[in-house]
Amino acid sequence: SNLPSKREVDKMVEEIKKGIEEAEKCRCGNAVRINSRFEVTTQRFGDIVVAAVSGRSFESFEDLPSTVEKRLNDILRAKGCKIRAIVIDRHDSLRPGGRRKIYPFSKEEDELIDLLLDAVGKVEAGMDKIPVGYSRADIRMRSIGKGGVRVAVVGNAAYICFDSNNMLPELRDMIAERVEKEGLIPVIATTDTHDTLGIRDTINPAGIGCDEKCLEETADAIKEAVLKAKESAKEVEVRVNMRRIRTKVVGDDLMRDILRKTKEADYSIPLVLLGILPVQIAFLFI
């Protein structure tokens, strides 16, 4: 949702298509989960390990620093490992009113990197095929975007993705409890989309505005989607490809460039619009 133009979207889609076409067959394995102050789930596909991180114990948590992945891979290379780790921030626990962040080279980041190293060391890739199933859940909430909720069961892990900007911790826990009872490791994440945000809804995690009954019904619907994905699973070969895609995004650098050009052109009206309208709308007036 933060790509600034159709051209950038098309470029991204084309690169993903090439990645799929050029993916190479690899061995894989089941997921491993380790709990501490962070929850880390790792799963290996060839020489790539997907590491999903939750800061649930912090109650309201968001945005891992990019240094986590860089430092982790630097250590792996220094140890002579050919593995490349991809660290994913699940964005699965946020309450209105504040959030906890960890900072580069802090004690919390050191703790997380140690946990990731442990989880990466325990994951294996000894399987030629793995059961994979997929399903969707039709859940209508103002906090969930057009992408809805998608579920992929890969081996012993259930990857559950909400198209939302984070999630209430209560909903996250309800879903996790139900999925664990089905013998699967829940990996609950959100896309961290900004499509569900607005001038008034600056914080809009999945489940906000729901009472206890609504949250339980949502968790039950996710459980059914997980079971459907599990039942549809088939043994498949795994292929993997990792690509670096250079693209423009609506971020700090682009906004500074827009403001600089606006000032140079003396466009006072667009400058005001940038302050009171969502960025996507403001672009229409520049």
* Residue 246 resides in a domain: no
Burial class (CB in 10 A: 0-12, 13-18, 19+), 8: middle
Cite the DSSP H helix spans in the chain: 6-21, 67-78, 107-122, 169-180, 212-231, 252-265, 268-276, 279-285
- Mean pLDDT, each 10-residue run in order, the chain (286 residues): 75 90 94 95 96 91 92 97 94 86 94 97 94 94 90 97 93 97 97 74 83 95 97 95 79 60 54 45 41
* Residue 208 resides in a domain: yes
* Residue 1 resides in a domain: no
Same domain (yes/no): 17, 54: yes
Same domain (yes/no): 90, 217: yes
- What three-state secondary structure class fits 156? coil
* Residue 146 resides in a domain: yes
In sequence order, the 6+-apart residues with CB closer than 8 A to the CB of 181 are: none
Residue 274 phi, psi dihedral angles, 5° rounding: -60, -30
User: Residue 268: which domain range?
Assistant: 252-285
Same domain (yes/no): 206, 162: yes
User: In this structure, what token pair is assigned to residue 104?
Assistant: 């580069």
Cite the DSSP H helix spans in 203-278: 212-231, 252-265, 268-276
* Residue 245 resides in a domain: no
Give the per-residue pLDDT at 276: 41
Same domain (yes/no): 209, 187: yes
In sequence order, the 6+-apart residues with CB closer than 8 A to the CB of 22 are: 241
Same domain (yes/no): 168, 204: yes
Domain final residue, candidates 220, 240, 260: 240
Same domain (yes/no): 187, 82: yes
- Say how far apart CA 46 and CA 27 lie, in whole Å: 5
Same domain (yes/no): 140, 268: no
* Residue 223 resides in a domain: yes
* Residue 232 resides in a domain: yes
Same domain (yes/no): 199, 82: yes
Same domain (yes/no): 226, 107: yes
Q: How far is CA 182 from CA 29, 76, 158, in A?
A: 19, 34, 10
Give the per-residue pLDDT at 277: 45
Do residues 39 and 56 touch, judged by C-beta distance below 8 A?
yes
Give the per-residue pLDDT at 242: 87
**Count of domains observed in the chain:** 2
Give the per-residue pLDDT at 256: 64
pTM: 0.84
Same domain (yes/no): 173, 84: yes
* Residue 116 resides in a domain: yes
CA–chain centroid gap for 60, Å, is 16
